[in-house]
């Protein structure tokens, strides 16, 4: 009673914003509780004997919840309150049920989709076939009279076209029948092989003969591959010998190139020395010529004086 009085006093003294906030909180809490209650109701509706055997305490609590009325006291409410573990079990069971339902829905949807695809493909092929037959009929049978604009149809051509069309249908049906029979025979063989593998039956003489033939073929292929490998090894050895010879020649050529470069370097240095000596000799010769010319000039001056 005191709590109710306190709540009433708080409601009377609260402002509009506080009341709106409290109302929104209560509404969100009520929505969450309603979702949880719906989950529990659906679980109780799907509860069966196996669940009761597996979770006896939970089934007892569930029976108490079913029999509970709105006029029960808070003590009974506390008694029938579910634990967290039981809530987890209920949610897990609901999750498994929803998962199974979604898988069934997906499987049915895929089956329906495949059926619709097959129907659409069949209708498309049928439409193409009808259009093709119509074009052939118009090409072979129909022709227009240019003077009156009336389409003239020959009865013989119509009968011939119908006979040809029926024959084509017969041949197509025969082909489909043969294909169906071959598919059935292969299916029977595959089923028989699977049955033999599952039951572990002994193979027959024909199977052993086939295995022997396959074994001989495999041995022949192995011998051929080994022969090819030997030839490739011999070719690789020859190629390696040739490569070593070329490497040796390349080394000799590199050494010769090095010797030639050193000799060229020495000759260039010698050439530079010779050129410097020639220049020096020319300079000495010029000096001597100048001295001789000056001497001659002096002698001529002395004679004149």
Does 200 have pLDDT greater than 80? no
Choice among 35-49, 71-85, 278-292 with the minimum mean pLDDT: 71-85
Of 91-95, 105-109, 155-159, 167-171, which has the strongest mean pLDDT? Answer: 105-109
Q: 132-158: per-residue pLDDT in tens?
A: 878 877 777 655 544 555 555 667 777
pLDDT interval class at 262 (50, 70, 90): very high
Asked if residue 92 and residue 40 are part of one domain, the reply reads yes
- 232-252 average pLDDT score: 88
| Long-range contacts, 123-132 (Cβ 8 Å, 24+) | none
Asked if residue 97 and residue 187 are part of one domain, the reply reads no
What's the predicted TM-score (pTM) here? 0.35
Asked if residue 41 and residue 100 are part of one domain, the reply reads yes
Asked if residue 193 and residue 166 are part of one domain, the reply reads yes
Asked if residue 37 and residue 90 are part of one domain, the reply reads yes
* pLDDT of the residue at 263: 92
Asked if residue 90 and residue 31 are part of one domain, the reply reads yes
Q: Helix, strand or coil for residue 81?
A: coil
Count of domains forming the chain: 2
Asked if residue 34 and residue 109 are part of one domain, the reply reads yes
Last residue of a domain, one of 75, 109, 143: 143
Q: φ, ψ for residue 153 (rounded to 5)?
A: -120, 130
Asked if residue 90 and residue 113 are part of one domain, the reply reads yes
Containing structural domain, residue 159: 153-202
pLDDT interval class at 189 (50, 70, 90): confident
- Neighbouring C-beta atoms of residue 141, cutoff 10 Å: 19
């Amino acid at each position: 009673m005191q709590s109710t009085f306190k709540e009433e006093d708080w409601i009377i003294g609260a402002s509009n914003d506080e009341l709106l906030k409290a109302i929104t909180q209560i509404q969100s809490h009520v929505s969450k509780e309603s979702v949880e209650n719906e989950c529990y109701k659906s679980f109780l509706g799907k509860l069966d004997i196996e669940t009761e055997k597996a979770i006896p305490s939970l089934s007892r609590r569930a029976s108490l919840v079913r029999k509970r009325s709105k006029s029960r006291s808070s003590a009974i409410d506390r008694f029938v309150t579910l634990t967290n573990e039981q809530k987890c079990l209920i949610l897990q069971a609901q999750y498994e049920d929803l998962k199974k339902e979604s898988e069934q829905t997906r499987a049915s949807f895929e089956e329906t989709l495949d059926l619709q695809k097959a129907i659409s493909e069949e209708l498309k092929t049928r439409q193409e076939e009808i259009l093709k037959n119509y074009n052939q009929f118009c090409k072979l049978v129909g022709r227009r009279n240019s003077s009156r604009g009336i389409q003239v149809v020959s009865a013989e051509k119509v009968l011939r076209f119908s006979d040809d069309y029926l024959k084509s249908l017969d041949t197509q049906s025969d082909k489909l029948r043969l294909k169906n029979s071959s598919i059935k025979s292969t299916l029977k063989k595959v089923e028989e092989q699977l049955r033999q593998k599952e039951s572990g039956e002994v193979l027959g003489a024909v199977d052993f003969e086939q295995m022997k033939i396959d074994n001989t073929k495999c041995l022949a292929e192995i011998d051929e591959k080994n022969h090819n490998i030997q030839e490739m090894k011999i070719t690789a050895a020859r190629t390696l010998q040739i490569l070593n010879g070329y490497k040796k020649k390349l080394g000799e050529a590199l050494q010769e190139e090095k010797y030639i470069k050193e000799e060229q370097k020495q000759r260039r240095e010698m050439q530079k020395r010779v050129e410097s000596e020639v220049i020096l000799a020319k300079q000495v010769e010029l000096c001597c010529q100048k001295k001789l010319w000056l001497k001659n000039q002096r002698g001529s001056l002395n004679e004149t004086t």
